[in-house]
Structures are given as C-alpha cells and as structure tokens.
C-alpha cells in the first residue's frame, strides 16, 4: 500500500501516507524513507509486513487493522484516489485535531 493516505482517520491516527523501511534493513537499522519527523506510528517492511511503534495506542492499532482490511479488498490494478499532500497537511494541522491531541497528552500524564 504505497502512496498517500486513503481516508482522514488514517492521517489522524497513523500519520500521513505509509512509511516504508529500506528493503533489507534489520533491527535498529530500520530507517524510513520520506523524511518524516519523529518515529512513524506504522512502518511497512517490504516483503515482510507491517509493524507498529510501541508508542501507538488502541486507536492507532485499530486504524492499522482497518487499513489492512481495506487494502486486502482492493482489486489489483484498481484506480485509487488518495488524499493529496495538501489534504493530509490540512487534516494534521486542523485546530480541532491539535486540541484533541492535547487532550490525549493531558489524560496520559501521570
């Protein structure tokens, strides 16, 4: 599943697009391509599968499963309309989303 995000919740819970590790990278040598700030919540490992960062929550886990379910149903060669980079940016920088993120940080604080 390469390319941009398929739907808004993907951007909110898993970040924009799908981050792919360099093929053949092992252990601590995993490195994502694409220049994302911080750790990617989800990382695609070519020919192996997908891993989620240890910091993901249940919502991100559910979105990753949802993405896998949706991707499994896409016919080979199907034309897929993805969110544009501008749409992904707008979603991730939306004032309501920034506020939701601060609520999550406050509730996670000890």
- Domain spans of the chain, in order of start: 8-108
pTM: 0.67
29 pLDDT above the threshold of 50: no
Tell me: the pLDDT tens digits for 58-80?
888 998 999 889 989 999 999 99
Instruction: Encode 11-74 in three state secondary structure.
Output: HHHHCCCCEEECCCCCHHHCCECCCCCCCCCEEEECCCEEEECCCCCHHHHHHHHHHHHHHHCC
Of 24-33, 43-52, 78-87, 97-106, which range is least confident? 24-33
Question: Given its phi and psi angles, is residue 24 left (phi above 0), alpha (psi -120 to 50 degrees) or beta?
Answer: left
Other CB atoms within 10 Å distance of the CB of residue 17: 22
Element (H, E) at 84: none
Least confident of 7-11, 23-27, 39-43, 63-67: 23-27
């Amino acid at each position: 599943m390469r390319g941009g995000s398929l739907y808004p919740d993907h951007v909110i819970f898993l970040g924009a697009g799908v981050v792919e590790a360099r093929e053949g990278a092992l252990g601590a040598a995993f490195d994502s391509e694409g220049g994302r700030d911080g750790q990617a919540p989800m990382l695609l490992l070519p020919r192996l599968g997908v891993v989620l960062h240890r910091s993901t929550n249940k919502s991100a886990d559910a979105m990753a499963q949802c993405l896998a379910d949706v991707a499994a149903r896409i016919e080979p060669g199907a034309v897929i309309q993805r969110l544009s980079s501008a749409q992904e940016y707008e979603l991730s920088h939306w004032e309501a989303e920034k506020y939701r993120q601060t609520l999550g940080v406050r509730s996670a604080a000890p």
